[in-house]
Amino acid sequence: MIQMRSKSALLETQALSVNFGKKLVLDQITLRLSPDEVLGVVGETGAGKSVLARALINLVPGKGYISGGRVLVGGQDVQEMSSEALRQLRGGVVSLIGTDAKSLLDPVRPVGEQVADVLRAHRGLSASEARLEAIDLFAKVGIVDPEKRAEAYPHQLSGGMAQRVIIAMALIPEPKVILADDATLGLDATIQLQVLDLLVERCREAGMGAVIITHDLGIVARYCDRVAIMREGRIIEEGSTRAFLKAPSTPYGRELLDSARVRPAPMARAEHGIDIGSVRPMLEIRNLVKHFPTPSGHVVKAVDDVSFQVPRGETLALVGESGSGKTTVGQCLVRLLGSNSGSVLFDGTDVLTLSDKEFRPLRRNIQMVFQEPYVALNPRWTVERLIGEPLALDPTIQSRTDRRARVMEMLDRVRLPSKLAQEYPHALTAGEQKRVGMARALATRPGFVVFDEPTTALDIRVRAQIIDLVRDLQQEMQLATLFITHDLNSVRSLAHNVAVMRHGKIVEIGETERIFASPNHDYTRMLLGAELPIEEFAA
């Protein structure tokens, strides 16, 4: 049995280094976690955060190994523990909660059974006792109708619900330390807030320590007592969260903090001296409806009588939780999905009434940038071919030379070097893939573009770069854009107007500053309450 010998530190690393072969991935990491403390570890993709999380329980993936230093849990070196002691450590003393909870659950067994298995293993309960205790745990972690949910399979749960199940499992052995490795990545803002509130509250109640590994400084600002900034496998800055938010001690820390701040809101037309009533909108949606029938005969009203307009040169942000109908609206506008009824007027022409042949010339003027660019980009095509392919619809492109010149122009517009033209998607970073998706959509010089979650799951600096890029492109090309997102910080930096969706309907719409300053609808107030702006915590 592992004894927690040290009263001063639950977990400690001393000059910890990890190698993968000859490559040094973690370089002399020194950290300390005390009881009832929440430590944030922040870094961009490739900084070594997830490797650190696994090194703390001596579970470095693949061919990696601890090449120097020590990891002490309760004063005991994890490298000197027996296999049995390590088994007790992992989950029993230190619990690791990863991202994508559904992938961590057995897809062919009800979640209640899976939690009951953990209860029987750690507490020696009978099958019936474990089932009742599992239901009680579900209630404690905020799962509504816990008896019914215990019978559900992972695919029948939302992302937030599945994450709560994983948290319930992690808390069963009453661990001393919780490691949350991007545990809320990709969740809606309201669900993310609920999950983290629950996790931190349980840690505080039980006197546990928690390490929250993330690339979201808003999370760190709200929940963490101290923060460690990682870059290229090293801790380059460490101290109290409040001190960091007021004055980072390194240039990289200052750059991260600046990138996380909200940009000044775009100017409205009235501020440019333009009479709003005199300008015909580039895009006008009237009473759009899209329903999906289910095998049981039930009808899902994904888009239910939605109306809005987007003027040339402006951005409307469409916000709401997963399942609210945002992406379905975007796909209906570009006719990737058929609509049941309503009108989509592009520069005065209803595109929903056109035949495919009639719509084809207009398609180059109505484009979409997809949420997951790697999925949308043909992996067998070079960047040049990917960007150039839509130009077959452009009558101004007469030759291969013209096409290549336009591709190079688009690469320059999205701030990518021309040498990437001959690369394939797998060789690009996530931010570069997003930019290629934008270049492809903008190659035909459209008048209207749908951006579907362009900043989701990106690193802090890359997210800021994408926001700045969209703002610049809109100004340069006078685009009308629909910005579909649940990233409220990006909305404040990018959108002139905001429409809030819930259950297929728009519940509130108005100018961005007005919506954030004085929301009218209860649901809008709930969404804004889940926002994590660092300015609020740095004050």
Ranges of each domain in the chain: 11-99+175-184+191-258, 275-365+446-530, 376-445
For residue 92, the model assigns a pLDDT of 84
Edge-to-edge, what's the strand order for the sheet holding 341-346? 299-310, 283-293, 341-346, 349-350
Tokens of 295: 């095998």
- Asked which of 254-263, 307-316, 498-507 is least confident by mean pLDDT, the reply is 254-263
> Sorting pLDDT into bands at 50, 70 and 90, what band is 276?
very low
For residue 274, the model assigns a pLDDT of 46
For residue 5, the model assigns a pLDDT of 46
For residue 184, the model assigns a pLDDT of 81
Residues 6+ apart with CB under 8 A from 242: 537
Beta carbons of 250 and 230 less than 8 angstroms apart: no
> Sorting pLDDT into bands at 50, 70 and 90, what band is 539?
low
By three-state DSSP, how is residue 38 classified? strand
Mean pLDDT of 136-153: 86
Residue 2 has pLDDT above 60, yes or no: no
- Asked which of 21-30, 73-82, 99-108 is least confident by mean pLDDT, the reply is 99-108
Residues 6+ apart with CB under 8 A from 379: 424, 425, 426
**Tens digits of per-residue pLDDT, 426-467?**
888 877 888 898 899 888 889 999 998 887 767 888 888 888
Which candidate, 250, 160, 161, places its Cα nearest to that of 486?
160
Comparing 11-99+175-184+191-258 with 275-365+446-530, is the CATH topology the same? Answer: yes
Any idea which architecture 275-365+446-530 has in CATH? 3-Layer(aba) Sandwich (3.40)
For residue 108, the model assigns a pLDDT of 92
For residue 267, the model assigns a pLDDT of 64
> Sorting pLDDT into bands at 50, 70 and 90, what band is 482?
very high
Return the bridge partners of 317, or none: 483, 498
Tokens of 465: 């770069």
Q: Where are the beta strands (DSSP E) in 119-253?
A: 177-181, 209-214, 226-231, 234-240
End-to-end CA distance of the chain, in Å? 46
| Residue type, position 71, single letter | V
Tell me how far CA of residue 75 lies from CA of 52, 59, 207, 233, 424, in angstroms. 18, 18, 17, 24, 48
Tokens of 107: 């897809």
The most confident of 10-19, 390-399, 489-498, by mean pLDDT: 10-19
Edge-to-edge, what's the strand order for the sheet holding 209-214? 94-97, 177-181, 209-214, 38-42, 226-231, 234-240
**Tens digits of per-residue pLDDT, 206-219?**
889 999 999 889 89
- As a whole number of angstroms, the distance between CA 375 and CA 388 comes to 18
- As a whole number of angstroms, the distance between CA 421 and CA 228 comes to 37
What percentage of the chain has pLDDT greater than the value 90? 48
For residue 275, the model assigns a pLDDT of 46
> Sorting pLDDT into bands at 50, 70 and 90, what band is 497?
very high
Tokens of 324: 């609210």
For residue 272, the model assigns a pLDDT of 45
Residue 134 has pLDDT above 50, yes or no: yes
By three-state DSSP, how is residue 30 classified? strand
For residue 533, the model assigns a pLDDT of 66
Beta carbons of 461 and 255 less than 8 angstroms apart: yes
**Tens digits of per-residue pLDDT, 369-390?**
887 777 788 999 999 999 998 8
Q: Which residues of 292-314 are buried (b: 16+ CB within 10 A; e: fewer)?
A: eeeeeeeeeebbbebebbbbbbb
* 11-99+175-184+191-258 topology per CATH: Rossmann fold (3.40.50)
Q: What is the mean pLDDT of the chain?
A: 87
Return the bridge partners of 304, or none: 289
Tell me how far CA of residue 329 lies from CA of 89, 428, 451, 474, 483, in angstroms. 48, 29, 12, 21, 11
> Sorting pLDDT into bands at 50, 70 and 90, what band is 26?
very high
> Sorting pLDDT into bands at 50, 70 and 90, what band is 6?
very low
pTM: 0.80
Residue 395 has pLDDT above 60, yes or no: yes
For residue 432, the model assigns a pLDDT of 86
- As a whole number of angstroms, the distance between CA 466 and CA 375 comes to 19
- As a whole number of angstroms, the distance between CA 147 and CA 131 comes to 9
**Tally of CA atoms within 13 A in the half-sphere of 245 that contains its CB:** 25
